Amino acid sequence: MRIDVFSIFPEMLTGFFGQSLLGRAQRGDLVDLRAHDLREHTSDVHRSVDDSPFGGGAGMVLSPEPIFRSVESAQPPRPLYLLGPGGRRFDQSVAEELAASPGFSMICGRYEGVDQRVRDHLCDGELSIGDFVLNGGEVAALAIVEAVVRLVPGVMGNIESAADESFTSGLLEYPQYTRPAVFRDWAVPDVLRSGDHGRIARWRRAQAIARTLRDRPDLIVARRGVSDAERAMLDEFGLVAAEPHD
């Protein structure tokens, strides 16, 4: 999989790309992450990448020329997404969709945003990481790269760990514990130390459902409620199966 990102601050991206799981995935040839510097494709002596908005108003807008030239010279994998608060909302299902593709690319805006002609004539779509405004697209690109790359087969050590996680099953994850068994008088639930794997699996499922009912009832509504078998698991561990409400 190849992912290209275009930015006026490429070092913000390359530092992150080289660390931890992303760094390992690249060294193992599982992904090819490329950060492109829009400033390399400026044509004036000041290497300017922005200009003031036509029609007036505060701030600066990224100019089309360096972005078009940079994309045309890199020939990045498509689809090419513009990052922006007005885009399609990125979530785990979009991450899964992108992880199944051979590659995609992103353009990071800055300042007031990007000349509209980039959106209209260069990009294939727009992605947002949530209803808030960042100073630039770099943090959004990093969030998307991280969420997508960890789903690429072979990237995470234990392939099981992706399947069990929050959202993948339509539920939040169950609580996790590690040693010590008692920390500052707080003991790990007995069931996890019982060695009874069937009971542990039912407890985890029951905890995931109870936690999702409490913290994200919208996810329970989206999966059409709680089944009879799941209700029995909640009963087994004395957890309440409150009906979700919005």
Using rule CB under 6 A, residue 84 touches ligand SAH: yes
Using rule CB under 6 A, residue 94 touches ligand SAH: no
Minimum distance, C-beta of residue 49 to ligand SAH, in the bound complex (Å): 12
The SS3 of residue 185 is coil
Task: Please count the helices (runs of H) and the strands (runs of E) in the chain.
Answer: 10, 9
Minimum distance, C-beta of residue 90 to ligand SAH, in the bound complex (Å): 8
Whose CB is nearest to ligand SAH? 109
Question: Within 10 Å of residue 237's Cβ, how many Cβ atoms?
Answer: 15
Instruction: State which of positions 33-72 bind ligand SAH (CB under 6 A).
Output: none
Q: Measured between alpha carbons, how far is 140 from 85 in angstroms, rounded to an integer?
A: 10
By rule CB under 6 A, what string of x and - marks binding of each residue 104-143 to ligand SAH? ----xxx-xxx-------------xxx-xxx-xx--x---
Alpha-carbon torsion angle 143, 144, 149, 151, nearest 10? 100
Minimum distance, C-beta of residue 139 to ligand SAH, in the bound complex (Å): 8
Site size toward ligand SAH, by CB under 6 A: 19
Enter the DSSP assignment of 85.
Answer: E
Q: Which residues contribute to the site for ligand SAH (CB under 6 A)?
A: 83-86, 108-110, 112-114, 128-130, 132-134, 136-137, 140
